[in-house]
Amino acid sequence: MEITSLTVYPIKSCRGIALGEAVVTRRGLASDRLWMVVDEDGKFLTQRDTPGLTHVATRFDGDAVVVSAPGTAELRLPLRFDGPRIAVEVWRHRGDGARHEAGSAWFSAVLGRPASLVRMPDDVDRAVNPAFGRPGDVVSFADGYPILLITEESLAGLQARVAEPLSMRRFRPNVVVRGAPSAHDEDAWRRITLGAAALRVAKRCDRCVMTTIDPETGARGKEPLRTLAWYRTERGAVYFGVYLMPDGDGAVVRAGDEVQVVERGGGG
């Protein structure tokens, strides 16, 4: 098996950036979801409740993230930033975010509502759910775990059941792998290597209505969640892809790197 694509999402719920290589850090791939947009109460905003985020694109330019949206000037954000702290909330996590003044004004204008753009300070550790991690396992502003992996075979298995074309972008993975022996083989992985990086499979990824949002247009429908619910539901959750926990910090992974399953379990 091999890695066919790597993607990071510098700002939670905005568009991602495809990369040829990426550094694996404790929080996930470097620069992934370290920024987040929050409302007046500090609660995180996503495409689930704020469709305008669908149209916000990101790209790297030297030591900056350049953010753009139709009809407005670009915004430049430093890769590293600290500033005035505000209390923020993402799912069950409550902690500090460093508020970027110009970024907050930009997103408020683009979204048509008061909003703040915050970066996770380097000294903030957001722990993963201890039921699926180890002491010291942390994550960025991602939904719950550092890295999301999906195999091309899993998407092909889903596509065979859905009439409309499906892009992998709907599922927002960090790592896409080709060459699995069957669809959803990743469910049974327990320990893997991505090139030089060693990782544990924390759990399967349970999916939500985000998958029903067209990543190009922002239009909402019923697929693919309706079909996934038909054949991928277990204990009330719908699963597609797996979350990974890095065993170390600093390894570089590249598109084309070999993927090896070091340990298998019983199927997720």
Q: 60-102: per-residue pLDDT in tens?
A: 999 999 999 999 999 999 999 999 999 999 999 999 999 999 9
Candidates 68, 5, 71, 78; CA nearest to 35 is 78
State yes or no: pLDDT of 268 exceeds 60: no
Contact 13, 37 (CB under 8 A): yes
What are the residues whose beta carbons fall under 8 Å from the beta carbon of 226, sequence distance 6 or more? none
CA nearest neighbour of 152 among 11, 24, 255, 246: 255
Q: Residue 248 corresponds to which tokens in the numbers above?
A: 């170390």
Note the pLDDT of residue 4. 98
In the structure encoding, which two tokens stand for residue 79, read together? Answer: 């890769």
Q: How far apart are CA 235 and CA 140, in angstroms?
A: 27
∠ Cα 229 231 234 (to 5°): 70
Strand partners, 213: 220
Q: What are phi and psi of 114, to 5 degrees?
A: -60, 130
Q: Distance (Å, rounded) from C-alpha 84 to C-alpha 65?
A: 20
Q: What residues contact 1, with CB distance under 8 A and at least 6 apart? A: 151, 177, 178, 179, 180, 258, 259, 260, 261
Supply the pLDDT for residue 104: 98
Residue 267: pLDDT over 60:
no
Q: How many CB atoms lie within 10 A of CB 235?
A: 6
Does the domain spanning 2-28+128-264 belong to CATH 2.60.120.560? no
Q: Please compute, for residue 52, the number of CA atoms within 13 A of its CA located in the half-sphere on the CB side.
A: 16
Work out the number of other CB atoms within 10 angstroms of the CB of residue 211.
19
**pLDDT on residue 217:** 87
Tokens at 9, concatenated: 């999402």
pLDDT for 216 equals 86
Give the CA-trace dihedral at 213, 115, 243, 255, to 10 degrees: 80
220/209 Cα distance (integer angstroms) = 9
Residue 266 is predicted with a pLDDT of 67
pLDDT tens digits, one per residue of 12-47: 999 999 999 999 999 999 999 999 999 999 999 999
pLDDT tens digits, residue range 194-223? Answer: 999 999 999 999 999 999 999 988 899 999
> What pLDDT is recorded for position 226?
96
CB 257 within 8 A of CB 251: no
Residue spans per domain, the chain: 2-28+128-264, 30-125
pLDDT tens digits, 93-152: 999 999 999 999 999 999 999 999 999 999 999 999 999 999 999 999 999 999 999 999
Residue range 144-191, pLDDT digits in tens: 999 999 999 999 999 999 999 999 999 999 999 999 999 999 999 999
